[in-house]
Chains A and B, each alone.
Chain A
Amino acid sequence: MLPRLLAGPPLAAGAESLDDHRRRLGAMPRSADPRTIIDTLTASGLLGRGGAGFPVGRKWATVAERAAGTAVVLANGAEGEPLSAKDRTLMATRPQLVLDGAVLAADAVGAERIVLYVGSEHLAARTALERALAERRAGRGSGRDLPISLVAAPPTYVAGEESAAVHFVNDGDGRPTGTRPRPYERGVDGRATLVQNVESLAQAALIARFGEAWYREPGGASTRGTALVTVGTAAGRGVTEIAIGTTVAGLAEAAKVTTDVRAVLLGGYFGGWLSAGEARDLPLDPVAMRTAGSAFGCGVVSFLAADACGVEATARIIDYMAGQSAAQCGPCVFGLRAIADATARIAGGTAVADDLARITRWSGQLAGRGACRHPDGAVGLMQSALRVFADEFALHQRTRRCPVARAHSRAA
């Protein structure tokens, strides 16, 4: 499959300049009615790439209804998910495409301001976007006068959540604010705000140039288009673009994953585990994955090698998630910490009698009881781990030893 978002110079070459970008892709089309792109996006079936997978056309239409010319576009490049690297890679290598998408969105929804919300730890992405903005301002821009500012997002897991992003831009406080009002109603500066992932904006910019039929050429049975995924192994992470519907096995082969795989973590810390057998032929397609009890999420595909322990990996993830709680809601603060501590004890061989039963009970109680979905994601991951690694958990709890470590030390 020919790459689309990542077409052009190799990623290692760094940020593509404005001139190269224009030469390669042509100028952004100017439309008499900037809102026609909304219908095009709806027809394309483009889904948001921030994790929720909400239809992009519908989202822009909702904001456009409320905008009255004073809306704000917040390009979300916070990427607080530790296993994901696609957004920072996209911003660092194709910043002009991201800016194209942001300006396109601003015209379509009637916004008068753009905020680029980029994780403060993503230095290459920030530099690339700053330079890209400078290139546009140096007279080689499209001549539009939209103020575009770059805000460094706090390096936390929840900072990329919609209400947290708006909260930080408004008040310097990166904590989610609960459900009311939602950003599309009242967001940055009290205006209707479109919070859109940077990959979604980049995809929109390509669709504006080449049309929805072009976008829909590659793809899977239920969902069309391409998507960026972050492939993770013990050796490291790599970002690649796939046709939606590529199977996990197909991706593993293309990414040259050679180790024996025990399980796959899909969707990031907010997603869930599947055993290697379950995952092998699963199409990386939001609809198919939801049917299989999984989720495409932000496109993370992490392979757990057969000589690694799923209990330990899960303990580390849950400990991180507990520490990343915004500490606003009791169930999340206390519940995740209790689950994390008990899982750590089980992983470390110091489990007390009821630990496994309590983890199971607590995990069933936390969903929906926080102001944001952080606890839901964490317990979703925990419950998938309890299912996929059921045997390992039971053995850890009962024998206080890691069956994987023993198996491999015996084989050595």
Chain B
Amino acid sequence: MSEQVLWFASRGSGIVSLVLSSAVVCLGLLTVVRWQRPGWPRFLTVELHRRVALLSIVFLAIHIVTAILDPYTALGVLAAVVPLASSYRPVAVALGVISVDLTIALIATSLLRERIGQRTWRAVHWLAYGAWPLAVLHGLTAGTDAVAPWMLAIEGLCVLAVGGVLAWRISAGRQRRAALPAVVAASSIVGSPASGRTR
């Protein structure tokens, strides 16, 4: 009976974590797009992005711990941190493990952003484009009801949401660049090292 509980807890928390992290990615993209409505100021988007991210790793932690403890999967702690060390569906679990590692980097750098500086933080934050798809693939391959219709529906909605907002972000970026005065586009202010050093 308790095995069932662990199994359900692991699947449930995994799904919730996936949905929440999809929301996190969407909120992050909406921050860049500068989306706002009367009653939904911009700071709400970025603050939700951060808070939902923290919430999602709570469920992620539950998902990992219950998966380790679940006797059916026989995952040891090692398998949860080392990719391909699992005997149960090694590749599927490895996708999740890598996703978690990237997520830890994202969270750690974000919490320490003031200390590590904006440039480093931004470089690491690009890993989000790796962490999220890996989580989706892990969801599609690792669980026994991975291809159940309701699960596919949830995954489909997550992918559609992130894909849609990503497309919006790319198009908004292009529009913003096009609207910048010509001085930015044609900036010849940056000198090139070739413009002359003589001894």
Contacts and interface: CB of A to CB of B under 8 A. Distances in A.
Contact of A156 (B180, B184, B188, B196): B188
Contact of B183 (A153, A173, A323): A323
A327 B187 contact: yes
A158 interface: yes
Given A149-B197, A149-B198, A159-B191, 8 more contacts: A120-B196, A149-B199, A154-B189, A174-B191, A322-B183, A325-B183, A326-B189, A337-B181
A341 B188 CA distance: 20
Nearest to B188: A156
B181 A174 contact: no
B196 A151 contact: yes
Contacts of B199: 149-150
A210 interface: no
B1 interface: no
B38 interface: no
B190 interface: yes
A336 to B, nearest CB: 8
Contacts of A325: 183, 189
B88 to A, nearest CB: 52
B174 to A, nearest CB: 18
Contact of A154 (B183, B191, B197, B198): B191
B189 to A, nearest CB: 5
Contacts of B191: 153-154, 156, 159, 168, 172-174
A120 B191 CA distance: 10
A88 to B, nearest CB: 15
A113 interface: no
A324 B199 CA distance: 29
A155 B190 CA distance: 10
A223 to B, nearest CB: 34
A364 B180 CA distance: 22
Given A333-B180, A333-B184, A324 B189 contact: yes
Interface of B: 180-181, 183-184, 187-193, 195-199
Contacts of A337: 181, 183
21 contacts: A150-B197, A150-B198, A152-B195, A154-B189, A154-B190, A154-B195, A156-B188, A159-B191, A172-B193, A174-B191, A322-B181, A322-B183, A325-B183, A326-B187, A327-B183, A327-B189, A333-B180, A333-B181, A333-B183, A333-B184, A337-B181
B151 to A, nearest CB: 45
A54 interface: no
B181 A334 contact: yes
Nearest to A324: B189
A36 B197 CA distance: 33
Q: Please give me the 4 A-B residue pairs with the lowest Cβ-Cβ distance, nearest first.
A: A152-B196, A154-B191, A172-B193, A337-B181
Interface string A354-379: 00000000000000000000000000
B183 A151 contact: no
A130 interface: yes
Interface in A298-326: 322-326
A224 interface: no
A102 to B, nearest CB: 15
Interface in A149-186: 149-154, 156, 158-159, 168, 172-175
Contacts of A153: 191
Nearest to B197: A151
Contacts of A172: 190-193, 195
Of the four ranges (under 10, 10 to 19, 20 to 34, 35 or more), the interface on chain A belongs to 20 to 34
Given A326-B187, A327-B184, A327-B187, A130 B198 contact: yes
Nearest to B184: A327
Interface in A336-362: 337
Contacts of A150: 197-199
A151 B180 CA distance: 32
Contacts of B193: 172
Given A149-B198, A150-B198, A158 B184 contact: no
B197 A175 contact: no
A158 B195 CA distance: 16
Contacts of A154: 188-191, 195
Contact of A158 (B181, B189, B196, B197): B189
Contacts of A324: 189
A303 to B, nearest CB: 30
Contacts of A173: 190-191
Nearest to B179: A334
A202 to B, nearest CB: 21
Nearest to B190: A173
Contacts of B190: 154, 172-175
B49 to A, nearest CB: 23
Given A323-B183, A327-B183, A156 B195 contact: no
A117 to B, nearest CB: 11
Contacts of A159: 189, 191
A195 B175 CA distance: 41
Contacts of A326: 187, 189
Contacts of A120: 195-196
A135 B42 CA distance: 64
Nearest to A325: B183
Contacts of A152: 195-198
Contacts of B180: 333
A120 B196 CA distance: 8
